[in-house]
Amino acid sequence: MARHWHLLCGVLALTFLVGCAQAGAERASTPEASASDQTLGEDFRTLRARQGHFSGGSWNRDLDQWQGQKHRTMQELLKRILAGGYDATRMSALLGEPDRILQPADPDYGYPLEQTQWQGQPEGDLWLYHWRGAHDQLVFAVKDGRVLAGGWLYAGE
């Protein structure tokens, strides 16, 4: 009986080590955000918390103006997320939770899917991050935890 117990403990220890190695390999395949990405994400979250004209406040050129600070920050984040191999978990940690998530069965799904200026091939859920309220938005297509595409949904005035 003692021999079987040692054998069982050995098998469990080996199984644990293999599981740890696999988890480490998965984490290694999705690199952590760089310090500059983290700083940019913090800038976005700070700007996002402020109210501009399109979210019930007064006009604020940093938040509301074309190529204002918030717009430029979001453009750079789009570029870095698509180039950096971000998955949905890392993107959410960087940007915060989306303002809205649309699933393919949602009645409002077609408009952003068709009207967004996509980089990549969109499919799956659409994660919307407001730039100027729901007026203009940064959209990411996420399927099975992977960010497949991103782009801008502008009101088109």
In 3D, which of 88, 47, 91 has the Cα closest to residue 69?
47
Q: What is the pLDDT of residue 26?
A: 44
Q: What is the pLDDT of residue 155?
A: 83
pLDDT tens profile 95-128: 999 999 999 999 999 999 999 999 999 999 999 9
Running DSSP on this structure, what letter comes out for residue 97? S
121 versus 34: the higher-pLDDT residue is 121
* Rounded CA separation 22/153 (Å): 38
* pLDDT-derived band at 1, boundaries 50, 70, 90: low
For tokens 């960010």, the residue is 147
Q: How far is CA 96 from the centre of its chain?
A: 8
pLDDT tens profile 84-94: 889 999 999 99
